Amino acid sequence: MIDTTDLTRNQDLVFKALVDAAVPLSAYTILDRLRDSGLRAPLQVYRALNTLCEKGLVHRLESLNAFVACARPDCHRHETVAFAICDQCNQVSEFSDTEVEARLDAWVRGREFRAERTTIEIRGTCKGCAG
Amino acid sequence: MIDTTDLTRNQDLVFKALVDAAVPLSAYTILDRLRDSGLRAPLQVYRALNTLCEKGLVHRLESLNAFVACARPDCHRHETVAFAICDQCNQVSEFSDTEVEARLDAWVRGREFRAERTTIEIRGTCKGCAG
DNA sequence: TTTGGAAATGTTATAGCATTACATGACTTG
DNA sequence: CAAGTCATGTAATGCTATAACATTTCCAAA
């Protein structure tokens, strides 16, 4: 279980904003929602987001330039996580697949490539929105 | 084989710039390199890039906000492609893995999620740069 | 041949995302 | 209490992408 008690004030505000939203938010949207709480500049948000990403509490979605609270705060061990992102309702399903990880790992090891970060994002339409 | 003969002037300029570079370029970097050829505004580049991506001649790298010429111009099927990106030398290796595709497809089908675009990007250090 | 529509282009302005640079404050540890 | 580290505050800037609108090009149908 990740420890969320040692977050600083700004980190806590940003994290709670993302948890409340339940969908990905851009840094500037987060800023807008936290102006009443005292945040005034983008950098305050970006700094908090960086720390939260490092802790595994938040994920960055590259294809959206947005951030989402980790769905599994009890399980930040999986380095590689995949996301299914609904372009209609913005909801994100987070999952991991050891076989996918293994195949990608096999490929990079075969080329002696040292992987640091892996992004897997599937954009589309969720069951509910496809009707 | 993809037909590159029906490209418009701007599309051709942008495509050749990417082929020449051999590494990913941002839209603004492309613009800078093509000012002498007559391009003056970002939108000229973005429009060309959009068309080239649709044709499968160019890939967008989400984690870099950059674009790279497709490594396999003989294969314009819009299949899922993965990229290994070296953060040192910027070189990109493009590959596809049917097993990875199958696993991701199985996951989304299980949730009745309709996938439109899949991004797989591995950031790290290549063999040569790891020394 | 003309005409009308689709696609491409050109241009300006603006919106949205992210970082640099520098100053200040808070807390810890020797 | 001094030094160091980490978080914060603020302003300015730079990078990425699109909106809106005018114009041009080209080709096919009348």
Class of domain A9-69: mainly alpha
- Give the residue extent of every domain in chain B: 9-130
Asked if B116 lies within 8 A of A125 by C-beta distance, the reply is yes
Q: Is A7 near strand D, with its CB below 7 A from some atom of it?
A: no
Whole-angstrom Cα distance, residue B19 to residue A35?
Answer: 45
Residue B78, C-beta contacts closer than 8 angstroms, at least 6 positions apart: B56
Q: Is B42 near strand C, with its CB below 7 A from some atom of it?
A: yes
Whole-angstrom Cα distance, residue B63 to residue A107?
Answer: 20
Question: What local confidence, expressed as pLDDT, does residue B1 receive?
Answer: 43
Report in angstroms the alpha-carbon separations of A117 from A8, A78, A111.
26, 11, 16
Q: What pLDDT digit, counting tens, does each position of B80-92 carry? A: 999 999 999 999 9
> How many beta-carbon contacts under 8 Å exist across A and B?
120
Q: Is B119 helix (H, G, I), strand (E, B) or coil?
A: strand
Element (DSSP H or E) covering residue A11: helix A9-21
> Is domain A82-130 in CATH 3.50.40.10, yes or no?
no
Q: What pLDDT digit, counting tens, does each position of A34-88 carry? A: 999 999 999 999 999 999 999 999 999 999 999 999 988 666 665 799 999 999 9
pLDDT at B4 exceeding the cut of 70 = no
> Is domain B9-130 in CATH 3.30.1490.190, yes or no?
yes
pLDDT at A117 exceeding the cut of 90 = yes
Helix axis angle, B42-55 to B9-21, nearest 10°: 80
Q: Is B51 near strand D, with its CB below 7 A from some atom of it?
A: no
Average pLDDT, chain B: 93
**B81 close to A120: Cβ distance less than 8 angstroms:** no
